[in-house]
Structure 1
Amino acid sequence: MPVALVTGASSGIGEAFVRLLAEKSYHIILVSRREERLRLLAEGVEQMGGTAEVVGVDLTTEEGLTRVKEHISWHPVDLLINNAGFGLYGPTSETDPQKEQEMIQLNVRVPVALTRAALPQMIERGSGRVLQVASTSSFLPVPYMAGYGATKAFILHYTEALHAELKGSGITVTALCPGSTESEFAERAGFKQQHPMPAAEVARQGLLACEQGRPFVIPGTANWFTASLPRFLPRPWMTRLVAHFFNDRT
């Protein structure tokens, strides 16, 4: 039975990934700080034909990150999905600096650390997949979500570089770059979404691209157009356009 580890598994895209993997009869390691939600989800996984185990940790802490890295070292995974993350909305000078550091930890340091934990085992086996959840913000400077956009740009570039490094090894690394999605993300960040895609469809496209070994995927035509803006507009124009779009979305 193949083994998958999914961070941020308790809701949104993460939960959608779990349900898709359950249908494929994976053994799924569910990682999130909301342990009670994970236990309910694990029961659903078993009803769908998969198996699951719960790892309730806060990945913004060193203790939580270390626990998951150790779990990977003891229990090798075939598929690692780095989905956990959050954003902060508002002028940078007005957002909580401690929350910003936690965001950088969760959005950047955690996926890098878990990828590094899984890769040696995958390389030894000559097989494995890593799916990183990035964003359409990976392609653009994002005024009013400056730190979040920068973390997702890191994830996209890191993923594309690893994908090239690992070519021919039997291991693939894919970045999923969604736009607005039906999840708790926007509410937690503090802004209103417009025309969100269903989380299940975002997860389906991400998992398909991962299985196909693609370096990245952008779900939805509108999101593809947004991510393509740097090809057509001078960077100052593009940044002003994004600033206009993100200003006053509370």
Structure 2
Amino acid sequence: MATASASASTPTKLSGQRVVVTGASSGIGAALARELAGRGAEVVLVARTRTALEALSAELPGSSVVVGDLATAAGCAAAAGEILAGGVPEVVVHNAGAGRWLAVDETPEGEAATMMAVPYLAAFELTRALTPAMIARRRGRHVYMTSVSAFLHVPGAAGYSAARWAVRGLAGQVRADLRGTGVGVTLLAPAEVDSPYFDHNPGTRERIPRATVLMGGRASTTTIARLGADAVEAGRRTAILPRQAALVVRTTPPPVLSWLAARTGWRHP
């Protein structure tokens, strides 16, 4: 199973390069934008909320803002057009994500489609729209943000976890498609992160399996951003973050991981 120690491809220079970060208005996305800008990247901030993006952009010299709703194909196409109008990106970080932790029978009609729209379909559509220009230049990197839940089955998070599995699958498929083009792929999979996501989704934190303490506990967004940027610069194929989480996933068979999550996680009433 691929982990943070997985083989690396060609390293990716960030200093002076145009780097797109979706879902950049808060949480891991905002932390990543700050980290990448601190390494000299010219960051393109993408999200729905203009005020939040403009406030962050004011902190980051050389950054720019693209406001768009990535939950629709049309929104992704419009965002991609605006991104390309400013130049072909060197790196695209597909970080935008949404979704509540709900069991399959708790999920309202239609909400699963919303959870799949962002992150999975948004990442697919942006990849489709931006890749031809990257291939024409013979270099670049797509970076897909998933979760450690894409490596096990977490009770009480059917739609959320399935969407993260889909992103993991997409990263592998895009890597296979783009082999030999000069465009690389990195998959980032954080374990528990101390982010505003939990404030916006009350009750979710209580569903995190207790066994996840074995993965190093709750990491800050700045820690995940630093480790994620390291993985991108090193050209890693897959990075499970932090290192303790990577060690657990690498050494524990997937059925055992899922068993631990079931034994120490949410249980249906």
Provide the TM-score with structure 1 as the length reference.
Answer: 0.87
Worse-superposed segment, 103-112 or 91-100: 91-100
1:232 paired residue number: 253
Task: Report the Cα offset of residue 174 of structure 1.
Answer: 0.4
Verify: 1:149 aligned to 2:161, yes or no: yes
AA aligned opposite 1:199: T
Does the 8 Å CA contact 2:143/2:185 hold for their aligned counterparts? yes
Q: Counterpart in 2 of 1:9?
A: 24
Cα offsets for 1:154-198 (capped at 9, x unmatched)? 211221233244344322110000011121223333312673101
2:59 is matched with which residue?
44
Partner of 2:9: none
Aligned match for 1:113, one of 122, 125, 137: 125
Distance in 1 between residues matched to 2:63 and 2:179, nearest whole Å? 31
For the residue of structure 2 that corresponds to 1:77, the secondary structure is coil
Q: What are structure 2's unaligned runs of at least 5 residues?
A: 1-15
* Pairing 1:165-176 to 2, within 5 Å after superposition: 165-176=177-188
Give the equivalent residue in structure 2 for 1:196: 218
Contact 2:102–2:159 under 8 Å retained in 1: no
1:60 aligns with 2:86: no
Instruction: Give 2:231's match in structure 1, choosing from 209, 220, 226.
Output: 209
* 1:225 CA drift (Å): 4.5
Residue 74 (str. 1) matches residue 85 (str. 2):
yes
Shift of 1:3: 1.0
Q: What are the ranges of 5 or more consecutive residues in structure 1 without an aligned counterpart? A: none
Deviations 1:117-157 (A, max 9, x none): 12111111111011110110111122211121111112112
> Deviation digits for residues 42-100 of structure 1, max 9, x if unmatched?
00002xxxx12222222224442232122234332111000010231132211233332
| SS of 1:124 mapped into structure 2 | helix
Question: Which of the numbers 189, 199, 205 marks the counterpart of 1:187?
Answer: 199
Matches within 5 A, 1:74-113: 74-75=85-86, 76-113=88-125
Shift of 1:111: 0.3
The 2-side partners of 1:157 and 1:62 are apart by: 19
1:166 partner amino acid: L
Q: Provide the rounded CA distance (Å) in 2 between the counterparts of 1:20 and 1:240.
A: 36
- Which structure is richer in relative contact order (CA contacts within 8 A, separation 6 or more)? 2
Q: How many residues matched?
A: 242
Higher mean displacement: 123-132 or 82-91? 82-91
Deviations for 1:99-127, whole angstroms, at most 9, x for unmatched residues? Answer: 32211101110001111112111111111
SS in 2 for 1:132: strand
- 1:19 matched to which residue of 2? 34
Identity %: 29
SS at 2:194 equivalent: coil
Specify the alignment match of 2:266 in structure 1.
Answer: 247
Paired residue secondary structure (1:97): coil
Counterparts of 1:25 and 1:238 in 2: how far apart (Å)?
38
